[in-house]
Amino acid sequence: MICFMLIGIVTAKGQGDTTLLSFENALQIMQDQNPALQRARQQIKQKEYEKAAKKGLYMPQVSVGAKAVSMSESLHLDLTPVRDAILPVYDVLGNYGVFSGVPNPDPRTNTVMPTLPEEYSTPAVRQQLLEGEKAVASANWDQVIQEKNFASVTADIVWPIYTGGKIQAANKAAGVEVRIGQEELRQAEGELLSELVTRYYGLALAIQAVQVREQMFGAMDKHYSDAQKMFNEGMIAKVEMLHASVMRNEAERELKQSKRNIEIIQSGLMATLSLDSVSNILPASHLFINKNLPGLDFWIAKSFEANPKLKQIEGKKELADIKSQVEKGNYLPTVALLGTYNLADKNLSAYAPDWLVGVGLQWSVFEGLTRNNNVKASRTLQEQVIQAETQAHDNLQAYLTKLHQELNMQLEQIKELEGTLELANEYCSSTEKAFREGFSTSTAVTDAHTKIAQVKMLRLKVYFDYDLTLATLLQTAGVPQQYLSFCSGENTIVEKLNK
């Protein structure tokens, strides 16, 4: 992936494995490689899956359950009192009953004699009653309807059809959480943009600082050489020559320190880009300023529309409203369809049904004022979020005003430093000429060169401050992706590395 992202990057000649990297390429690599952004994207995926999971609350919940039960004793149905009640009836009728009008069961004679005579029907009926008495007496009137040990496997279904708005609220809250996650990603991208600008253009600043220090060392080395010649010719005192030597050594020390600083900043840039396969990176893009910037009102309006922290507060405000709705919904009942189907069993009662369906309702009538206090707490949370939103608007406006004023001030400083640098160069040339003619001192010459270096360094620092302040402004306004349009184009003035 790193090789793909480095398309268009030119390898610096004479630098070994040093690579020139434009800011646009660096930004793309950071967006693809930085672990903080990858983590934020994974958090969004997590919330999207959680949102999808909440949709399942609308669907029936089907489960398979198994249970094995052992009771202290089997369940019995004792009907012996019924037996004892009907046996005397059988006994009396079977021994003393007289029956007439009994239908003739013989098809051959029932047309002639539809009913049996009493002398035939009474013995026959008595005989049947006495046989029935024996059967009733010998029957088992104490039945086991459920063995003490039994097991069953069932399929169960629960389908909520009314929950007082809790399911709808859960789905709505999940959608809000996804949007908050997306704003957190935008916030992380903005913060990392500022970090990248700090390290990328900080490296550009450090490289140009080395060039300034090299120019200073070259000037001090030449001045020391001139001072030696003039001392040897007796034109200046030894103290002048020694002063030139001290300043040359000081310039050399500052040059070495500047070069060491480049290595430190490079390591920070590598960490931001999460690169370890490239041993050395140099910026191909230069420090810059802009000719014109949109007015303060534009940035304030943009931030109210797109600032990621403000969007997160708006999302939390929605969550607070949803929570209030849920707390009020706790006063309402929950209704669900219920069903069970017996898949398999062992020793389960034959009287148990194979399936059942029904409707269940649960309505909590009193919870010790818990619901009432939760509703009040949710209202308080809503007020807190509203106050936080108001404060965020005020803070954004104040911060953007500060940043916009700093950018304008930095643009003014650049113009002033251009004139100062021109005067410092002219003064330095005059001082060197006077020194060579014996009308000036080594101190004056070194001070003139030092002033040039100071103005150049300050000028570079203002460029860097402008670039970083601009990144912070765009981050605060919620449009960090627009940074690329400001660092190049007709509205951009770049500080060339070789300038």
Domain spans, the chain:
2-59+164-330+367-495, 80-140
pLDDT beyond 60 at 4: no
Task: Write the Ramachandran bin of 436: left for phi over 0, alpha for psi from -120 to 50, otherwise beta.
Answer: alpha
pLDDT beyond 80 at 288: yes
pLDDT beyond 60 at 298: yes
pLDDT at residue number 278: 58
Please state, as a whole number, how many other Cβ atoms lie within 10 Å of the Cβ of residue 320: 19
| Percentage, residues of the chain above pLDDT 70 | 95
pLDDT at residue number 84: 87
Residue pair 83/136 in contact by the 8 Å Cβ criterion: yes
For residue 290, what pLDDT band results from cuts at 50, 70 and 90? Answer: very high
pLDDT tens track for 68-89: 999 999 998 888 898 888 888 8
Burial of residue 444 (CB within 10 Å: 0-12, 13-18, 19+) is: middle
| Percentage, residues of the chain above pLDDT 90 | 65
Q: Which fold has domain 2-59+164-330+367-495?
A: Outer membrane efflux proteins (OEP) (1.20.1600)
pLDDT at residue number 17: 64
pLDDT tens track for 330-344: 889 999 999 999 999
pLDDT beyond 60 at 420: yes
Alpha helices (H) in 437-493, listed in sequence order: 442-477, 483-486
- What sign does the CA torsion over 126, 129, 135, 137 have? negative
Give the pair of three-digit tokens for residue 157: 């279904």
Distance, CA of 132 to CA of 143 (rounded, Å): 20
pLDDT at residue number 15: 42
pLDDT at residue number 25: 94
* Residues 150-161, mean pLDDT to the nearest whole number: 94
For residue 226, what pLDDT band results from cuts at 50, 70 and 90? Answer: confident
pLDDT beyond 70 at 3: no
pLDDT at residue number 76: 87
DSSP 209-257: HHHHHHHHHHHHHHHHHHHHHHHHTTSS-HHHHHHHHHHHHHHHHHHHH
* Residues 2-21, mean pLDDT to the nearest whole number: 48
pLDDT beyond 90 at 470: yes
pLDDT at residue number 43: 95
pLDDT at residue number 481: 92
Give the pair of three-digit tokens for residue 26: 């660096």
For residue 279, what pLDDT band results from cuts at 50, 70 and 90? Answer: low
Task: Write the Ramachandran bin of 73: left for phi over 0, alpha for psi from -120 to 50, otherwise beta.
Answer: beta
pTM for the structure as a whole: 0.78
For residue 125, what pLDDT band results from cuts at 50, 70 and 90? Answer: confident
Distance, CA of 227 to CA of 233 (rounded, Å): 10
* Residues 90-108, mean pLDDT to the nearest whole number: 80
For residue 111, what pLDDT band results from cuts at 50, 70 and 90? Answer: confident
Residues 6+ apart with CB under 8 A from 302: 477, 478, 479
Q: pLDDT averaged over the chain?
A: 89
* Residues 170-183, mean pLDDT to the nearest whole number: 95
Q: Write a three-state SS string for 111-139.
A: CCCCECCHHHHHHHHHHHHHHHHHHHHHC
pLDDT beyond 80 at 110: no
For residue 2, what pLDDT band results from cuts at 50, 70 and 90? Answer: very low
Lowest mean pLDDT among 6-15, 212-221, 283-292: 6-15
Distance, CA of 353 to CA of 159 (rounded, Å): 21
Higher pLDDT, 174 or 235: 174
Burial of residue 155 (CB within 10 Å: 0-12, 13-18, 19+) is: middle
